[in-house]
Amino acid sequence: MGKKTIKGKDLVAIGFTDGRTIGIALNLMSRIYKKRERDHKLQVLSEVLANPQAFLQDEHLGKLAAELFQEGKPAVKETPLEKTGKAWQTYGRSHIEKGAIQQMELAMRLPVTAAGALMPDAHQGYGLPIGGVLATRNAVIPYGVGVDIGCRMCLTLYDLPASFIKGQHQKLKTMLEENTRFGRAEFSDHIDHEILERKEFQEIRVVRELKDRAWKQLGSSGSGNHFVEFGVVEILDPDNEFGLPAAQYVAILSHSGSRGLGANIAEHYTKLARETTVLPRAAQNLAWLDLDTEAGQEYWLAMTLAGDYASACHHQIHQRLGRALGEKPLARVENHHNFAWKEHLTDGTEVIVHRKGATPAGKGVLGIIPGSMIHPGFIVRGKGEMASINSASHGAGRAMSRTKANQTFSNSEMKKTLRTHGVTLIGGGLDEAPMAYKDINTVMAAQQELVEVVGSFSPKIVRMDS
């Protein structure tokens, strides 16, 4: 037995210096390598100590390697911000809170910033403001994308008249209750999807550890402002891309993101970005990863996977509801609004465009800009306005915080408002009261040069987390 046991002094003898890494190494050897001889254990640990980066993706040695890798790094010098930020365009400035403006001003002082814009639904967030669009040179900012990577809108139209909702109101309400899951709730009848076969789930350690959770949450929606709802679409443009008559149609609209998968990816790489790009305290949440580094490339792959996973969740939501309806879709529109894209500025420069709560609005690109529970949303077609970096708002935007909404409104007031507008709500809370949001018509008026309206969507039966 003695020939297999190693102690802390043995690790000090081969070059270990930090108490934490010694503890991790001893624990690892006692659990995973307990049947191995003492010399073999010391040989393995010597190899990890000599080149920790080579073992970062190892299933068993990865945690120890990560600690040693960080331990061996030289102190990172703080990167200063530019004294004068680059110019940027704001839409609907008079309706945007001061905190969001200040966050955008800070982002424009990053040395990697190439261009920026602020959408009319903007409000203060973390890192970039919600509604902020930032183009950077060969750098990706995890908090510029956001925690809910690939948060997305998805709209499906059906060949059913608007009167169908009123006539089948209870049936549709039951469909939402039976075929959607929010927050921590999961389906018992999981539907497989090819997204789970993606190579990133095997090749990226942080993603690999999240695969089981991703499988359990597939097809579900988050909490907060995420929703699934039945409503009525009115096609206003007779020359629409769907080839549909200008008329009214029953539709399903969903808003959700990449669930625990995206949140954990964001947390992991934001921490890594802060360690590798040390910024002044006020700008710490804007730390970036260079895309020429392994960490930057890895985040890009993980972010892309999370965005595709969010899309897969929406497709399953609409698949379940479409099956319950017994109808085939006429058309579908969807778009991310918490993501980063490789695009080009007018001078041909390739940049990384972060849209944190902003809708892609390149020329001819379709998107969805929701209103609130009681106000219409819009199907829009981008005009390709470069001053906005081909972007538009991602919704009406909050007029007050969740805390203030809870303090301001009462349940009876909210119920009365919903009843007045003929909207049925399943779940939801006062923090999502429609009165806590900006006027969508004011927001749309501020971005007429960015998008044109193809159609409108009016919510009728809304499901949110309870």
d(CA 1, CA 38): 9
Q: For residue 213, what are its two tokens? A: 């959770």
Beta strands in 287-438, from DSSP E residues, in sequence order: 289-290, 329-336, 338-344, 350-356, 358-360, 366-369, 377-382, 391-393, 424-426
* Residue 394 known to be catalytic: yes
For residue 392, which of 142, 127, 86, 153 has the smallest C-alpha distance?
153
The single residue of 314, 354, 394, 421 carrying the catalytic annotation is: 394
For residue 451, which of 358, 384, 395 has the smallest C-alpha distance?
384
d(CA 358, CA 169): 33
For residue 223, which of 259, 253, 189, 188 has the smallest C-alpha distance?
259
d(CA 269, CA 79): 18
Contact between residue 387 and residue 364 where contact means Cβ atoms under 8 Å apart: no
d(CA 319, CA 315): 6
Helices (H), 53-199: 62-71, 98-107, 142-145, 163-167, 169-179
Integer distance in angstroms from the first to the last C-alpha of the chain? 56
Give the pairing type, strands 424-426 and 451-463: parallel
Helices 38-50 & 19-31 angle (0-180, nearest 10): 140
3-state secondary structure of 280: coil
Torsion angle defined by CA atoms of residues 35, 41, 47 and 53, in that order, rounded to the nearest 10 degrees: 60
DSSP string, 370-402: ---SSS-EEEEEE---GGGTSEEESSS-BSS-H
What amino acid positions are annotated as catalytic residues?
394
